[in-house]
Structure 1
Amino acid sequence: MQFADRLQPLQSNVFADMDNAKSRVKASGKQVIDLSLGSSDLPTDKFILEAIAEALNDTSTHGYSLFGSTLDFREAAAKWIKQRFGVIVDPETEVLPLIGSQEGTAHLPLALLNPNDFALLQDPGYPSHYGGIHMASGQVYGMPLLAENNFLPVFADIPSAVLAQSKMMVLSYPHNPTTATASLEFFQSAVEFCQHHNLALVHDFPYVDLVFDGSIQPSLLQADRDRQVSIEFFTMSKSYNMGGFRVGFAVGNRELIRALRQIKAVVDFNQYQGIMRGAIKALSGDRTSIDHVVDTFKTRRDVMIDALQAIGWQIPRPASTMYLWAKLPEVYAHDSVKFCLDLIAETGIALSPGAGFGKHGEGYVRFALVYPPEILRKAAMKIGQFLQTSSN
């Protein structure tokens, strides 16, 4: 049986290797503390679940959910955008419900790229962004994100030959995995660059609320108020702990929204209307539940930073996200995969190797702070023992 060439870059990755390693450790009977996946351990709030539960007995919610039946959700999303960022959008033409934002970011390249067109992605960056380009038979140009540039891409360094073949740029701040944030001025420069080079500007914005110490992350929509080149993706997974419910939405340029809607129409319907009712409740509520999420991950950040400092691993204190982005100890400085495989085999602690996020992620590992403080301290202690043994 023959398969499409586009499957080749999807067949193996370091995260599959990590999953196999976790399975081997679990099979041996050893406890695994999995800090490799950014899946929140916090529960969905009761008021959201109650709205979903109430819908179950409403038989009008049991059928297919077509675009027309999502108007209430689209209006709630548009109202949220206005309240949050002061940007007015049309819920009919500039908002599109999604089965999680990953669905949208993976499908949009199918609407924008012809075979061998380039997409400009962050390196390191979120792996599904790369997967969407490969599925569209496009080419990836990785924009290096370096510590000396505050993990922001330098647009002037993109080769002109690549730009001539490029159709889209994908950004995501607060950034996974580096935890970097971006200013409104940076987004304005990105908009100007993409306007000049006729690129669609895509911003994946899952960590809109997960910023700490009084910081506020601006929206791309504030830099492109007329939505000339921009589309932004939002999810209910991080702020509202609704990852398993798979609900998100896109907001932006009406032509980009229409193109994405055309792709979506031949791939899927929308999710269950009861889930959308829960999402409407979430978007319409106050910040009480969000503040709890932010405070929880801020506390975990501080606990883990302090615990790692105690074992001699100095890591910058991130201003955002649910992660730590840590430069590897010298003995493993150029092999993040080996470090993670050795660590889990010896201790049961699973981290994400930086190499899995792109070439410029090598030399780092990502911690996902998805356990309570006492477990994080235990993980740090085990890592300290592992590092002491490795350095001998």
Structure 2
Amino acid sequence: MSIQTAKRLETVEEYYFSKKLREVRALAASGKPILNMAIGSPDLDPPKEVVESIQNAVVLDGAHKYQSYQGIPELREAISNFYENKYKVVLDPENEILPLMGSKEGIMHISLAYLNEGDEVLVPNPGYPTYTSVTNLVGAKPVYYDLVAENEWEPDLKDLAKKDLSKVKIMWVNYPHMPTGANGSIDLFKKLVNFATDHNILLVNDNPYSFVLNDNPISILFVPGAKNVALELNSLSKTFNMAGWRVGMVNGSQEKIEAILKVKSNMDSGMFQGIQKGAIAALNISDDWYSKMNTIYKERRKLIWELASILGCNYDKTATGMFVWAKLPKGINAVEFIDTILYENSVFITPGDIFGSNGAGYIRFSLCVTKENIKEAIKRLQVEA
């Protein structure tokens, strides 16, 4: 007997990397020397202070009990101090900060808190595929807005304003942008806040790449009046090499945080205290940490640029973040191209198509690859060039 699945599953597919990585693992298991240059999963260790903090925390009295849905007060205080020190944004730790088990869950929590069936959501193209899948899962409708190189991967808000936005409830933005590395600016954030205010839209900036190869970290909440219409997601995954720890946060006005907490408190039972203690240590780390990480990423990025050039790609050397977004020569299908390289050269790269139609003709390299492995990929692909 077959039990019928929910109709919502008809609106989504398995996440690309979940499916593709099974194929990549099978190739590796068969003896292929696969070099994975596709995934933004940091390969470097977290700060030693962070590891020591969780080690010490596991023996504390009460460490293994259920924890607060809002996180321990010390964590919210650390997030508040971090935002004030790094972004010049003042957040009340009591009611304007909600720690998350990774910011990815925040996308679902925000959507469940604010979207009804039939509501519309503005989703960037190209952009993070989870914005679309979560929108579909909750019964809302994704409406894509174009990001193109000619406009520096920023939305054309004048063009958007001409459209019927009466059903739009949420607009997802993501600066520094993934996958393109476009940095955004306070001027852009001001325009976005004004746009959201004019059209009564909840604006959500997804901001996990602020400190990766970026000398000017910014938050949308810096803009005066932003808290009236905006939320910001952030994460410790990329900045502190803590992807597997699942520590994120959503920040905004008390009213909005309370709405999200209604959802979250019914979906988990609080974050392990030791992880919260580790997160506090990370948020209090010295600026030397960022400099050290970016020195490593700069060295890797230079080699990735060399690899992209071998493949005949163009790329923007001013882009920020953990990836290199590269345009293939005209007429080359990115999906077919990366599959050829995967099967013939055992190098796995991400096709831009998975981020939306405006990603067609592009490929994305991750910087979470050792210099030795990048040099090996260069050797393999030089033969083909």
* TM-score, scaled to structure 1: 0.93
> What CA distance in whole angstroms lies between the structure 2 residues aligned with 1:112 and 1:311?
44
Which stretch shifts more, 189-198 or 218-227? 218-227
**Alignment CA distance shift 1:330-1:319 (3 Å):** closer
SS at match of 1:164: coil
> What CA distance in whole angstroms lies between the structure 2 residues aligned with 1:182 and 1:63?
42
Trace 1:286-297 onto structure 2 (pairs within 5 A): 286-297=286-297
**Alignment CA distance shift 1:305-1:264 (3 Å):** same
Trace 1:225-374 onto structure 2 (pairs within 5 A): 225=225, 227-310=227-310, 312-330=312-330, 332=332, 335-374=333-372
> What CA distance in whole angstroms lies between the structure 2 residues aligned with 1:299 and 1:208?
19
| Alignment partner, residue 209 of structure 1 | 211
The letter of the residue matching 1:286 is S
> What CA distance in whole angstroms lies between the structure 1 residues aligned with 2:222 and 2:322?
24
Unaligned runs of 5+ in 1: none
Question: How many Å apart are 1:10 and its aligned residue?
Answer: 2.2
| Alignment partner, residue 19 of structure 1 | 21
Retained in 2: the 8 A contact 1:124–1:145? yes
SS at match of 2:143: strand
The letter of the residue matching 1:45 is P
The letter of the residue matching 1:21 is E
| Alignment partner, residue 117 of structure 1 | 119
> What CA distance in whole angstroms lies between the structure 1 residues aligned with 2:163 and 2:205?
24
What is the number of residues matched between the two proteins? 383
Q: Deviations over 1:17-37 (max 9, x none)?
A: 532431332132111110111
Retained in 2: the 8 A contact 1:145–1:153? yes
Retained in 1: the 8 A contact 2:70–2:98? no
| Alignment partner, residue 66 of structure 1 | 68
Q: Deviations over 1:123-172 (max 9, x none)?
A: 11011122221121111111111000001111222275541110011111
> What CA distance in whole angstroms lies between the structure 1 residues aligned with 2:342 and 2:125?
25
Pairing 1:108–2:110 present: yes
> What CA distance in whole angstroms lies between the structure 2 residues aligned with 1:293 and 1:68?
30
Unaligned runs of 5+ in 2: none
Percent of paired sites with the same residue: 32
Retained in 1: the 8 A contact 2:45–2:241? yes
Retained in 2: the 8 A contact 1:318–1:324? no
> What CA distance in whole angstroms lies between the structure 2 residues aligned with 1:147 and 1:164?
28
Retained in 2: the 8 A contact 1:311–1:380? no
SS at match of 2:240: coil
> What CA distance in whole angstroms lies between the structure 1 residues aligned with 2:70 and 2:93?
11
Question: How many Å apart are 1:197 and its aligned residue?
Answer: 0.3
Pairing 1:126–2:124 present: no
> What CA distance in whole angstroms lies between the structure 1 residues aligned with 2:183 and 2:149?
12
> What CA distance in whole angstroms lies between the structure 2 residues aligned with 1:54 and 1:16?
34
Pairing 1:8–2:10 present: yes
The letter of the residue matching 1:370 is C
> What CA distance in whole angstroms lies between the structure 2 residues aligned with 1:331 and 1:22?
26
Q: Deviations over 1:99-125 (max 9, x none)?
A: 011111222111111111111111110
> What CA distance in whole angstroms lies between the structure 1 residues aligned with 2:299 and 2:85?
28
